[in-house]
């Protein structure tokens, strides 16, 4: 009996210990609820953070998506897919554009996802920033900046694809994915313009304070508006609609031509130009000559640029190949003879005219000084040595695949290393908008609007040429190499060529040829280079040779295809004509 009771007590005791141990163990080790060190949305947009530190960093990140044109297509400038240049490397992705083999699944310049991701970033910022207790002044500026960036991204989409889906202010989550439809071209233009109008006074005024340089200013807003309207007024969209179905026509331009669109574009450009005093101006001839537009981080000509730290990437990517470490370079983007020939003589007269004093056997002398600022040609000084692009020369040794295909290397944007022994870091900030391009936009739009060019148009060209180093000259009937009286059509040709020269490699030519609806003509011609033969005595002979072909499939390549993956996911998206 006693035995039984003792056993029972003992058993109960052990059971009790077992139970308390089990409970005790678990009770004292409540786990962490998750990874607490992660940055959360609540921490980025924090109602208690008066400094808005992380919110600002979120906005800053959106800046980094601003367009950057340096060697961006698999190591090449986009201009290497125009008649201005060709890539030196065979088999890079840009070939798909050059050879016209662009497809719904292969587009090296596909910007669809990237821009929509950035649009979402801006929308998220706009949706959340009101939570953060920074001052209204700062907050309103930030919001305006985000809206500008968003409008900029839409413009990047618009010029590639035509009308695209407008997301408005919605921040989408994976739970409410939408099957968007494309808005019409007109709606997209109006949206961008309306956004610019809405924020022009909310962003900071020019000139920006020193620490804020690079942020969106009033000038950038006006510039975006101006460029959008310039594009919208252009033949491709304004009267030259390539849409093959009614739905596509809505997406690929306006239904019919309207001359007033040119006026709106001219007014928008003039809006910036007329208020530019004290903010933007052309550089002096001396500074321009010293390439200060591109090598001076902040100058009066750049309105908005993609900013980065100083580096020597451009030099090592594009510099001539005839130098050894540490000046080893890849010579990626090679300007063509076609571009070189577009530069007039030193007096401003086209080289096809005898008055230009152009000499075929001394082709680089007596030329528009901008040629030497854009292209490195044989004999030009570089890193204390003359460039040798004659056959077998150090920069065209013909025993490597990494050398120029045209006889030219890119000079524009590179640091002033003519007399240096070694590449160093220099500012390389891709200009998105600059004053000269606004002037040319104005001139182009105004000329198209008027029946005959007025003095303001001539003035733009005179100003640009003068500061480029083309003097007014003394030839009767000519100023700066231009006829004193031109028809609208003559002026159109002059402006278009001036854009090509002044804005070379700034990603204008590629889009200009499209919006002018000239791509089918210009981009289906052979591209030339210069074959220079050095005789035993040292004398050079020059021969223009065809070095490449370029193909533009008309008319479908006027617009990029909406990516296949996107069409297959979203049946509401209408594909562009021809794809």
Partner 1 sequence: MRKYLITACFLLICSLSWAQQHVITGTIVDSDGPLPGVSVYQKDSPSRGTVTNLEGKYRLVLDKSPGALSFSYIGYLSQEVNVAGRSVINLTMMPDAKGLEEVIVIGYGTQKRITNTGAVSSISGDNLRQSPSASLQNSLIGRVPGVITQQQSGRPGGDGAQILVRGLSTTNGNGAPLVIVDDLEYAGNIADIDPDQIETFTVLKDASTTAVYGIRGANGVIVITTRRGKTGKAQITVRSENSLQQPSYVPEYLDSYESALLFNQAVNNDIALGIAPSRTAFSDEALEAFKNGTDPYRYPNVDWTDELIKPFSLQTRNNINVQGGMEKAKYFISAGYLGQDGLIKDFSQNSGMNSNYYYKRYNFRSNLDVQPSKTLTLNLDLSGNFSERNSPNNRGRANHDNVFFEISDMNQLAPWAYPIYNPDGSYGINPGNTLNNIVGRLTEYGYVREFRNDLTANFRATQKLDFITQGLSAKGVVGYNGYGGFTRSLTRNGTDGSDFPAYSYDSQTGSYTILNTNIYRTTLPNLSNSNNAGTRKLNWQASLNYDRTFGSKHRIYALVLYNYLNDISGADVPDVFEGYTFRLGYDYKSKYLLELNAGYNGTSKFSQAERYSLFPAISAGWNISEEPFFKDNIKFVDLLKIRGSYGLTGSDNLSGGFDYVYLPTYDRSATGTGESTWNYSLGDTPTAINGIRESTLGNIVTWEKEIQSNIGLELRMFKGSLNVVADVYSRYRYDILQERQVSAASGISSQLPPANIGKVRNRGFETQVTYNGRVNDLNYNVSGNISVSKNKRVFFDEPLKAYPWKTLTGQSIGSELGYEFLGFYTEADIADVEIAKPSTGQVFAGDLKYSDLNGDGIINADDMSVMPYANLPNTILGLTLGANYKNFSFSITAQSALNFSLSARNESVVVMSNNFREIHKDAWTPENSVNPSFPRLSTVANISSLTTLSNISTFWSRRSDYLRIKTAEIAYSLPKELVGKVGLGSARIYVNGYNLLTWSLKEKNIYDIDPENQARSTGEDFYPQQKIYNLGVQVAF
Site for partner 1 in 267-326 (CB under 8 A): 297-298, 306-310
Smallest distance from the beta carbon of 310 to partner 1, in angstroms? 6
Sequence-distant (≥ 6) Cβ neighbours of residue 456 within 8 angstroms: 442, 443, 446
Inter-residue contact 389 to 395 (CB < 8 Å)? yes
Candidates 54, 257, 478, 579: give the one binding partner 1 (CB under 8 A): 54
Helix locations, 133-254, DSSP H: 136-161, 185-199, 218-233, 246-251
Q: Which range in 58-66, 223-231, 491-499, 536-544 contacts partner 1 by CB under 8 A? A: 58-66
State how far the Cα of 227 lies from the Cα of 441, in Å rounded to an integer.
7
Please list every residue from 180 through 209 that binds partner 1, using CB under 8 A: 180
Task: Report the residue number, 103 or 359, with the smaller CB distance to partner 1.
Answer: 103
Q: Which range in 39-47, 263-271, 337-345, 430-438 contacts partner 1 by CB under 8 A? A: 39-47
Smallest distance from the beta carbon of 569 to partner 1, in angstroms? 5
Phi-psi region of 366 (alpha: psi -120 to 50; beta: other; left: phi over 0): left
Task: Report the residue number, 54 or 462, with the smaller CB distance to partner 1.
Answer: 54
Sequence-distant (≥ 6) Cβ neighbours of residue 457 within 8 angstroms: 443, 446, 447, 450, 491, 495
Q: Counting contacts by CB under 8 A, is residue 90 touching partner 1?
A: no
Phi, psi of 544 (to 5 degrees): -80, 125
Q: Is 556 exposed, middle or buried (0-12, 13-18, 19+ CB in 10 A)?
A: middle
Task: Report the residue number, 113 or 245, with the smaller CB distance to partner 1.
Answer: 113
Query: Is 106 strand, coil or helix?
Result: strand
Q: Counting contacts by CB under 8 A, is residue 60 touching partner 1?
A: yes
Sequence-distant (≥ 6) Cβ neighbours of residue 314 within 8 angstroms: 70, 71, 413, 414, 415, 428
Query: Is 381 strand, coil or helix?
Result: strand
Please list every residue from 9 through 38 that binds partner 1, using CB under 8 A: 10-11, 14-15, 18-19, 21-22, 25-26, 29, 31-36, 38
Q: Counting contacts by CB under 8 A, is residue 579 touching partner 1?
A: no
Sequence-distant (≥ 6) Cβ neighbours of residue 222 within 8 angstroms: 196, 200, 268, 271, 272, 275
Q: What is the DSSP letter of 118?
A: H
Q: Which range in 6-14, 281-289, 484-492, 537-545 contacts partner 1 by CB under 8 A? A: 6-14
Candidates 79, 83, 121, 575: give the one binding partner 1 (CB under 8 A): 121
Task: Report the residue number, 51 or 113, with the smaller CB distance to partner 1.
Answer: 113
Inter-residue contact 504 to 339 (CB < 8 Å)? yes
Smallest distance from the beta carbon of 573 to partner 1, in angstroms? 8
Candidates 173, 324, 361, 400: give the one binding partner 1 (CB under 8 A): 173
Inter-residue contact 265 to 445 (CB < 8 Å)? yes
Q: Which range in 89-97, 172-180, 368-376, 436-444 contacts partner 1 by CB under 8 A? A: 172-180
Number of residues that bind partner 1 (CB under 8 A): 79
Candidates 50, 57, 274, 384: give the one binding partner 1 (CB under 8 A): 57
Task: Report the residue number, 30 or 278, with the smaller CB distance to partner 1.
Answer: 30
Q: Counting contacts by CB under 8 A, is residue 172 touching partner 1?
A: yes
């Amino acid at each position: 009996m006693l035995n039984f009771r003792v056993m029972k007590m003992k058993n109960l005791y052990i059971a009790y210990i077992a139970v308390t141990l089990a409970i005790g163990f678990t009770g004292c080790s409540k786990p962490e609820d998750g990874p607490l060190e992660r940055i959360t949305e609540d921490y980025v947009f924090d109602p208690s953070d008066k400094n808005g530190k992380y919110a600002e960093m979120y906005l800053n990140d959106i800046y980094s998506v601003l367009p950057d044109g340096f060697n961006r297509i698999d190591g090449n400038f986009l201009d290497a897919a125009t008649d201005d240049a060709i890539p030196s490397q065979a088999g890079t992705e840009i070939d798909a554009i050059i050879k016209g083999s662009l497809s719904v699944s292969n587009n090296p310049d596909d910007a669809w996802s990237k821009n929509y991701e950035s649009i979402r970033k801006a929308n998220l910022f706009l949706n959340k920033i009101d939570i953060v207790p920074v001052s209204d002044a700062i907050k309103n500026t930030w919001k305006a900046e985000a809206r500008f960036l968003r409008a900029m991204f839409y413009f990047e989409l618009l010029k590639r694809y035509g009308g695209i889906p407008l997301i408005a202010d919605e921040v989408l989550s994976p739970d409410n994915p939408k099957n968007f439809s494309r808005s019409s071209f007109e709606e997209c233009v109006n949206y961008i313009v309306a956004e610019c109008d809405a924020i022009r006074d909310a962003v900071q005024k020019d000139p920006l304070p020193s620490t804020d340089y690079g942020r969106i200013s009033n000038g950038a807003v006006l510039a975006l508006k101006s460029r959008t309207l310039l594009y919208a007024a252009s033949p491709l969209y304004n009267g030259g609609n390539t849409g093959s179905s009614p739905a596509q026509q809505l997406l690929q331009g306006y239904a019919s031509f309207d001359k007033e669109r040119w006026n709106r574009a001219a007014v928008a450009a003039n809006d910036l130009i007329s208020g530019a005093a004290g903010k933007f101006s052309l550089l002096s001839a001396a500074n321009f000559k010293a390439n200060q537009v591109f090598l001076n981080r902040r100058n009066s000509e750049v309105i908005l640029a993609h900013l980065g730290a100083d580096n020597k990437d451009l030099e090592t990517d594009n510099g001539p190949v005839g130098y050894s470490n540490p000046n080893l370079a890849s010579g990626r983007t090679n300007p063509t003879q076609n571009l070189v020939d577009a530069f007039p003589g030193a007096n401003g007269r086209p080289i096809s005219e005898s008055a230009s004093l152009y000499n075929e056997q001394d082709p680089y002398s007596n030329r528009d000084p901008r040629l030497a600022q854009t292209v490195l040609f044989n004999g030009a000084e570089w890193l204390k040595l003359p460039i040798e692009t004659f056959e077998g020369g150090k920069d065209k040794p013909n025993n490597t695949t990494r050398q120029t295909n045209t006889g030219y290397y890119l000079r524009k944007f590179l640091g002033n290393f003519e007399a240096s022994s070694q590449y160093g870091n220099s500012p390389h900030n891709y200009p998105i908008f600059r004053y000269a391009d606004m002037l040319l936009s104005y001139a182009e739009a105004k000329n198209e609007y008027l029946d005959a060019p007025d003095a303001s148009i001539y003035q733009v060209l005179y100003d640009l040429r003068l500061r480029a180093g083309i003097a007014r000259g003394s030839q009767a009937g000519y100023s700066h190499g231009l006829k004193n009286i031109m028809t609208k059509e003559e002026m159109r040709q002059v402006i278009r060529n001036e854009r090509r020269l002044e804005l070379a490699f700034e990603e204008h030519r590629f889009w200009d040829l499209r919006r002018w609806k000239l791509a089918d003509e210009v981009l289906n011609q052979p591209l030339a280079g210069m074959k220079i033969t050095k005789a035993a005595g040292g004398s050079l002979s020059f021969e223009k040779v065809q070095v490449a072909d370029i193909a533009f499939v008309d008319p479908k390549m006027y617009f990029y295809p909406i990516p296949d993956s996107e069409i297959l996911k979203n049946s509401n998206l209408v594909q562009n004509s021809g794809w």
